[in-house]
Amino acid sequence: MSEPRTLLAIDRVSKNFGRVTAVDGISLDIRENEFFALLGPSGCGKTTLLRMLAGFETPSDGRILLDGKDIARMPPNKRPVNLMFQSYALFPHMSVRANVSYGLEMERLPAKEIRARVDAILATTELVPFADRKPEQLSGGQKQRVALARALVKRPRLLLLDEPLGALDKKLRGAMQLELKRLQHEVGITFVIVTHDQEESLVMADRMAVLKDGKLLQCDTPHAVYEHPAERFVADFIGVMNFIPGKVSADGVVAANGARIAGKVPAALSSGAAAVASVRPERVRLFPSADTANRTTGTVEVLAYQGLDLQLHVRTPLSPKPFLVRVTADAADRRPVASGDQVELGWDAADVRIFAE
């Protein structure tokens, strides 16, 4: 496969509000037709970055290149970029059809074409039966689809989505995640979604950027970010992680109790430096085979049944916090454990990630 074309290049963009730096020198390339997620805790600058892409904020520094053209100072109504607002921002005095037509009327297209395109997008988003309703007569999920239809009908080069699923309940959210991904595929438009929900970006995004305090920490595929977090913060923020504090040794980390955790030490860490070794709960095995590189024993404190799998909290001498272990329901059936049991845990050196403390 040839290298995908870059659609949007964010080039050393910063934004200051007075003395506060909301976005601090971020560079990112977003590719044609990809589903890209901007992820981070609240206040990380992701919304400010999105608003700069939409044109509601002007960067204090840097360039935003869309198809190679700098749009950083272009007003929002001149950009081939549309934003789906977190509050949906549907016009309450207009019907669903009028809301969706609005953007095309602004382009001064012939009435016939507007009608055809609105009909098509209403069909795609399954809104035909609600075309004459006012926003107040719609459910949360329907409003969300209207907001999406209103933005998509413009056929933007880039669609920005600000926490698009935040207002929906959990079950509907799961369905809409897949729905959004299907739609994105169908319309062939590049999506950039802002979210604070790491699970959401893992499920939906082709690539994701993790932001913190206005800085870009890591930008990669969800798989790479999950399996090879660039920093301790990313490891902690994405998914669940067990951390074992200690000191760097030649081939791993020596925990506080003297136990040796084998793993690949990053080149930047010198021997003796404070560090944490980490391992994902699903990489930890109960009753490991004798040749497993890392082993410890502990006491099961809590057992949480989660349908597909079982989550155990195991008190070990390695870390002050209990160790989280995920076992498939299958494995748990073969060798049942109960709260209070002494268990042996083990994991491979290849599953250990080591970060500076």
Partner 1 sequence: MRYVPSRSSLLMAPALAWLAALMVVPCALVLALAFFRRGIYGGIDYTFTLENFGQVFDPLYAGIFLNSARIAGTATLIAVVIGYAAAYAIAAAPRRWQPVFLFFAVLPFWSNYLIRTYAWIVLLNREGLITQLLRWVGYTGEPPSMLYTEGAVIAGLVYNYLPFVILACYAPLSRLNPELAEASRDLGASAMTTFRRVILPLTVPGIAAGAVFVFVLSIGNFVTPALLGGGRFQMIGNLVYDQFLTANDWPFGAALAMALIAIMLLVLMAQAIAANRASGRIAEAEGNANG
**Which residues are near partner 1 by CB under 8 A?**
54-56, 75-77, 82-83, 85-93, 102-103, 106-107, 134-136, 150-151, 154, 167
- The side-by-side arrangement of strands in the sheet containing 260-262 is 260-262, 252-255, 242-249, 274-279, 353-356
Output 89 or 224, the one with its CB closest to partner 1: 89
- The answer for residues whose C-beta is within 8 angstroms of residue 151's C-beta and 6 or more apart is 82, 83, 84, 103, 159
Please name the amino acid found at residue 353. Answer: R
- Contact criterion met (CB below 8 Å) for 353 and 235: yes
Residue 55 or 62: the one with the smaller Cβ distance to partner 1 is 55
In three-state secondary structure terms, 175 is helix
CB 325, CB 286: distance < 8 Å:
yes
Q: Are 151 and 158 a contacting pair, CB within 8 Å?
A: no
Output 106 or 329, the one with its CB closest to partner 1. Answer: 106
Of the two residues 104 and 343, which places its CB atom closer to partner 1 in the complex?
104
C-beta of 149: minimal distance to partner 1 in Å? 12
Sign of CA dihedral 337, 338, 344, 349: positive
By beta-carbon proximity to partner 1, the closer residue of 86 and 249 is 86
Q: Which residues contact 227 (CB under 8 A, 6 or more apart)?
A: none
Q: Cβ 19 to partner 1, closest distance in Å?
A: 17
